[in-house]
Amino acid sequence: MKYGIKINPDDVAEPWWPAVLGSEEMLLAKARQLGAGFVELVVREVAPLEEVARLAGIARQAGLGVSLHPYLYGPLAAEAFDIRRADAFAPMLQLADELGRAAGEPTIVVFHGGRARTEPHHRPYEDAMASAKAFFAWLAGQAEAWPHVRSLCETQIPTRPGDGDWDRLGDTYETCLELVDGTGLEVCWDFGHTYAAWHRGKHGQFPPPEFLRRVGHVHAHDTVRIDGDIEDHRPLGTGISPWRKYLALLAQRGYDGTILFETGLWTRQGYDGLAAMLTSAIAEVETIAAK
């Protein structure tokens, strides 16, 4: 198993970063020392890729792999995919391909399925799903152009009660599989998102076998109940989700891939918080995997 931490390049420019974490070189070297094997970098549609590339270079120098997690809500949103504008994805995919070539293994790139009936595109659900499915089909067809890229579709968190009549696409086990149906692409299982979906009555608490067989990457974090609803991205062991059962199901399937501990809480706790989160989480996962 390979374990990772997540960095949003936007945070690096925040005033608290150097005070709490020092340099990026220090952070990534410490993460590697504590057992991390990769870093997942947020990619913003409106932000230049140079900062992502810079952080990826520092990660490689620290002995860490790199995965990418695009947040695409504007022209590149999955629900607005248009094959005539597909070239706009080239800079991101080229960076991923270069990172994968240098690492000697494909770069994981985790895409969201998009959104329906909300800004900025306001697509009806059926139209949004059709465009998102076309997007993932197009990604699957890019293997020859970008052979060192491994694209996945993440299970999204469903909208909250009272958020209005709009949907995130792929917010259940079944609809996430629907987005990649016929493509051969894998899915990223986000533990907190799928637990929230169960809590909000969207699907069953545990995934069907066909979903487990498709998992190629994991976003592992815990959830807490606040005012009757679910808040996620908490460190494992600090909440109420059945993440141990999730891991056991993956272990039974023989999963030995990448697990991102997707929590930002450690950033405010300095290196003591980072050490506590990583050592505890890795020990728990290793124990479950060994059973």
> Any idea what the CATH number is for the domain that residue 118 is in?
3.20.20.150
Overall pTM > 0.85: yes
Q: Provide the domain count of the chain.
A: 1
State the pLDDT at residue 265.
Answer: 65
Q: Which of 134, 119, 135, 131 is nearest to 74 (CA)?
A: 119
Phi/psi for 236 (5° steps) reads -55, 135
| C-alpha span between 39 and 56 (Å, rounded) | 8
Structure tokens at 56: 């990826």
Q: Which helix (H) or strand (E) holds 7?
A: strand 2-7
> What is the residue range of 115's domain?
2-290
State the pLDDT at residue 57.
Answer: 98
| C-alpha span between 240 and 255 (Å, rounded) | 23
Asked whether 38 and 74 are in contact (CB, 8 A), the reply is no
What letter represents residue 209's amino acid? P
Question: Helix %, strand %, coil % for the chain, to 5?
Answer: 45, 20, 35
Asked whether 142 and 178 are in contact (CB, 8 A), the reply is no
State the pLDDT at residue 95.
Answer: 98
State the pLDDT at residue 268.
Answer: 72
Q: Which helix (H) or strand (E) holds 9?
A: helix 9-12
3-class secondary structure, 106: coil
State the pLDDT at residue 284.
Answer: 95
Q: ∠216-230-177 over CA atoms, to 5°?
A: 30
CA 213 to centroid of chain Cα atoms:
18
User: Average pLDDT, whole number, for the chain?
Assistant: 96
Asked whether 112 and 154 are in contact (CB, 8 A), the reply is yes
Q: Which helix (H) or strand (E) holds 135?
A: helix 125-140
Residue ranges of the chain whose pLDDT lies below 70: 265-266
State the pLDDT at residue 222.
Answer: 96
